[in-house]
Amino acid sequence: MPYVIGKDCVDVNDRACMDMCPVDCIYVGDRKSYINAAECIDCGACEPECPVDAIFVDRSARGNELKTFFVEDSRNFFQITLPGRNAPIGAPGGAGKVGDIGVDTPYVSDL
C-alpha cells in the first residue's frame, strides 16, 4: 500500500488531494477519504496537497502504532463489506466510477 490517509483527515475531508491524483484512486467515505492501494501508482502527488498532513507513505508507519492501524483500516475500507453495502468496494478502477461511498470503516465511524 503506497499512500494512506490517517486520522487527521477525520471530519476534515478537504478533498484537495483528490484534485491532484492522476489515477482517481482516492475514495470518499463519510468522515474521511481512503486511498485504494490497488489503484495508487505511488506518485505522491496527493501528499503535499493535504492541508492537515494526514497523508503518509505506508513505509513510514513502521514503529508508529496509530499510523500502522490506519494502514490496516485503509485496507479494510476496500476489502470488507462496509455497513449498508452488499459487497466490498474492491478496486473498481477509479473513485469517479462509484462516487462518494458515504460510509466509513467501523473504526472511523466510532471515532
* Mean pLDDT, the chain, whole residue set: 92
pLDDT at residue 1, as a whole number: 55
89-111 tens-digit pLDDT: 999 999 999 999 999 999 999 88
- The closest alpha carbon to 29, from 77, 70, 76, belongs to 77
Give dist(CA 96, CA 71) in Å, integer.
Answer: 23
Give dist(CA 3, CA 99) in Å, integer.
Answer: 20
Cβ atoms within 10 Å of 9's Cβ, excluding its own: 25
Structural domains of the chain in order of their starting residue, each with its CATH number: 3-87 (3.30.70.20)
Encode 70-81: b = buried (16+ Cβ within 10 Å), e = exposed: bbebbbbbbeee
